[in-house]
Structure 1
Amino acid sequence: MGNLPALSWGPAGPLARTCGTSYGASDAQDLRRHAKIGSVELTLLGTGAPAGLPRPDCPCAACATALGEAARAATALLVDGTVLLDLTPGAAFAAARAGRSLGGVRQVLLSHPHNGPAVEVPAGLPQPARVPDGRELALLTGHRVRAMPMDAPGTGYAVTGPDGQRLLYLPPGGAPAGLDETVQPYDMVAADVVGRPDALARLRAVGALGPTTDVIAVHLDHDVPPGVELRRRLAAAGARAVPDGTTLTVGVYEDVPDVPRRTLVLGGARSGKSVEAERRLESFPDVLYVATGGSRGGDTEWAERVSVHRERRPGSWRTVETCDLVPLLKEDGPPLLIDCLSLWLTDAMDSVNAWDDDEWAGGGERALRGRVEELTAAVRETGRTVVAVSNEVGSGIVPATASGRRYRDELGRLNAAFAAECEHLLLVVAGQAMVLRGG
């Protein structure tokens, strides 16, 4: 595309002017016919990453299965037939396949951090341009487009329709920067949910993303296999994906995915269960990470494990090391990520001296049952979002010692009791999450 022009700005505010083409008041009536009164229609001409999905010449499993509706062209959005967000190869054909025309487009705006591949501008379209960060473009159709600064190269666009419907579009790999003030929730957000889930966390933190905001995943790449796995990952963030060519009405409440309030993630050693649990909350701000393992003085290998976990967590998360879970579950607050129940059980069994046969028979077993019942009752009654991790044991070699068998049996009972109080239950095997309950 070469060097792209920026929009011109008049002394009295932004003008609907790009590349030397301006629109006078006499054009307003004709232009308004392109805007649907009472709603904003968004047509997703493409929903894929800049290279598309499948990527050309990529042999990975995700690309090999990205067929039919799972195939995605580079993301481009058509708003009310008047504003085109990102010009991609084949945009005119994509619009035709979706039953739309680019003939009424009055503004073509780019969001990508680069000019992209050379794309021939279809006849009749204005040349692509950018709105400077923080500035607002007013169109004679009644639409307003404000450029939102990003924390990475690129531009986000907040589009407000003639009747106030609000759409936010974020570029690939970008998250909003400088969101300090609380704002009203957007009706719809189209963003790189898989690549930058923390963008949703930032929007949630200031109230820009609410429970009825329709979050549409775009810029989809081969990081996640299409189909069931993609839907599951997006639902955990309260988002969804739609096929290329879909037309959505901004401001009309859709079936926004419910984020499960209580989730138990099970798995064996190095199965990926902790990563899966963290992934379920990475689009939410102010998560409280509850580490039940504590510190082990002199154990350098354990210290390295803890360090890896800490480095993986978003910077906005807080960490507390405790096995006293019941008070946390009873009080209000941000989501809890508990990692893990197996270490909580070790502490609970230590507290009742469960390793001694006489102590176990003389009241230790009864005391442990009481601790587990207290924990599961708190999970049942909690108002917080909870994601807990635990080891799935008992499928392999029978422990050689009585204490080992006792621990194995009690962990199985704890997992079953905790799972009974959760809406969502996952088993992670070889890095792959299998849904046992909760879709």
Structure 2
Amino acid sequence: MEITLLGTGGPDGLPVPGCPCAACSAAICGAARNPASVLVDGMLLLDLTPGPALAAARAGRTLSGVRQVLLSHPRSGPPVNLPPGLPAPGRVPDGEQLALLTGHRVRAVAVDAPGTGYEITGPSGNRLLYLPAGCGPAGLEAAEHAPHRPVPYDMVLLDVVGRPDALARLRAAGLVGPTTDVIAVHIGHEAPPEPELHRRLGADGARAVPDGRSLIVGEYDAVPDVPRRTLVLGGARSGKSAEAERRLSAFPGVLYVATAGAREGDPEWEQRVHAHRERRPGSWRTEETCDLVPLLAEDGPPMLVDCLALWLTDAMDRVGAWDDERWASGGPRELAARIAELTAAWRATRRTVVAVSNEVGSGVVPATASGRRFRDELGKLNAAIAAESEHVLLVTAGVALPLRDYGTGRPG
């Protein structure tokens, strides 16, 4: 089964007419996207983009063989003129199925916002799922509770940028697996400009392709590899925690490991903790501990550690690093052993992990010996963890700069 993406943009396209934002300005320079529309094997058209016949011609395709036009949502955005000869567009009621003469089967899938998703099965059995803009699947249950073992789709097209939680729910239901080709569509000016768009989608195990691209459903060569270990560095209030959380927003059941613990009588700290909790998905589980080695050794869902600087504070507490006399009597050796144990566990882990840490080496030299000791040891810890990570990022002013990128997403 072959699909041609006549459009990959949001309902208003990209750039949005008259909008001066950075994403729209960048799109004018070669990354423009028509509203999303997908041509399946030249005979089924999902949604309509302005000038569909011209969009098809630019992609080297024709609409002369289209026998069915299905809409996934009420029309908005630029007006669309139906080319002569195309059948009138329609929508299929949720749960109902169409059997086409070409051997394709189309089933309407319920979504959690106004609209209709479509599951298409080709004559050879390959399956793709197409979801409308701003929508996620409705009525899914976790794979372990399903009466039958779910079969992952070969390809899924959805609003990854706007609804990463929808992708997480498909993964939890077993409908998106490691070989599922996840294509981001409905890309509007809320998305970051390229190449930042591709970097973020790669972390989600998804990719974006330009308008006019044709893809074979079931070919897995371009499925991006999600890095197993990621270290996110940054200064205070740099956006490093938000970046780390965003990297796992499309995955279900994430374990969030908070190394800070509780601070009694500190309302400002409690407000910070509350703000962190509020922006995390409700499906995530939180554990407050500095005992990271056993968690890294376990099999399980993705894990986010925030942060290594607080883990180091706890480790230095345990070896008496703040007392010069005790530190001199063997503290460096004890701390080095703890860091080596954590680094070995990080290297050996089989779960997807993202860790946050402070980058303190560019600031003012601490005034105290203990402060300089902490700065030096945090630099060593960051270097050790970075050496065993496939992906390392430095975040400044909310902008993530990749320092190392082994095997993550790449432009389509």
Instruction: Please state which band the TM-score falls in when normalised by the shorter chain.
Output: over 0.9
Choose from 42, 50, 54 the match for 1:89: 50
Q: 1:231 to 1:379 in 2, by over 3 A?
A: same
- After superposition, residues 359-374 of structure 1 pair within 5 angstroms as 359-374=326-341
Which amino acid in structure 2 is aligned with residue 379 of structure 1? Answer: W
Partner of 1:19: none
Choose from 315, 322, 330 the match for 1:348: 315
Choose from 248, 251, 255 the match for 1:284: 251
Partner of 2:63: 102
Aligned: 1:151 with 2:151: no
Contact 1:111 1:171 in 2 (8 A): yes
Deviation, structure 1 residue 204: 1.0
Q: Which has the bigger relative contact order, CA under 8 A and spacing at least 6?
A: 2
Partner of 1:233: 200
Partner of 1:75: 36
Contact 2:102 2:123 in 1 (8 A): yes
Aligned: 1:194 with 2:155: no
Contact 1:83 1:105 in 2 (8 A): yes
State the distance in 2 between where 1:161 and 1:300 align: 58
Partner of 1:163: 124
Deviation, structure 1 residue 378: 0.5
State the distance in 2 between where 1:113 and 1:363 align: 70
State the distance in 1 between where 2:195 and 2:85 align: 40
Deviation, structure 1 residue 252: 2.1
State the distance in 1 between where 2:17 and 2:316 align: 55
State the distance in 2 between where 1:113 and 1:412 align: 54
Which amino acid in structure 1 is aligned with residue 337 of structure 2? Answer: G
- After superposition, residues 28-427 of structure 1 pair within 5 angstroms as 40-67=1-28, 69-114=30-75, 118-180=79-141, 181=146, 182-427=149-394
State the distance in 2 between where 1:346 and 1:222 align: 41
Q: Give me the TM-score of the superposition, normalised by structure 2.
A: 0.95
State the distance in 1 between where 2:190 and 2:324 align: 50
Choose from 385, 400, 408 the match for 1:433: 400
Q: 1:135 to 1:115 in 2, by over 3 A?
A: farther
State the distance in 2 between where 1:244 and 1:131 align: 26
Which amino acid in structure 2 is aligned with residue 149 of structure 1? Answer: A
The 10-residue stretch of structure 1 (60-69 or 299-308) with the greater mean CA deviation from structure 2: 60-69
Contact 2:12 2:78 in 1 (8 A): no
Deviation, structure 1 residue 88: 2.1
Q: 1:113 to 1:405 in 2, by over 3 A?
A: farther
Q: Secondary structure of 1:66's match? A: helix
Q: 1:52 to 1:251 in 2, by over 3 A?
A: same
State the distance in 1 between where 2:74 and 2:137 align: 14
Deviation string for 1:141-163 (max 9, x for gaps)? 11111111111111111000111
State the distance in 2 between where 1:240 and 1:48 align: 14
Unaligned 5+ segments in structure 2 are: 407-412
Deviation, structure 1 residue 99: 1.3
Backbone CA RMSD of aligned residues:
1.3
Deviation, structure 1 residue 243: 0.9
Contact 2:43 2:67 in 1 (8 A): yes
Q: Give me the TM-score of the superposition, normalised by structure 1.
A: 0.89
Q: Provide the aligned length of Structure 1 versus Structure 2.
A: 400
State the distance in 1 between where 2:152 and 2:317 align: 48
Unaligned 5+ segments in structure 1 are: 1-39
Q: Secondary structure of 2:120's match? A: strand
State the distance in 1 between where 2:78 and 2:232 align: 42
Contact 2:6 2:49 in 1 (8 A): no
State the distance in 1 between where 2:65 and 2:30 align: 27
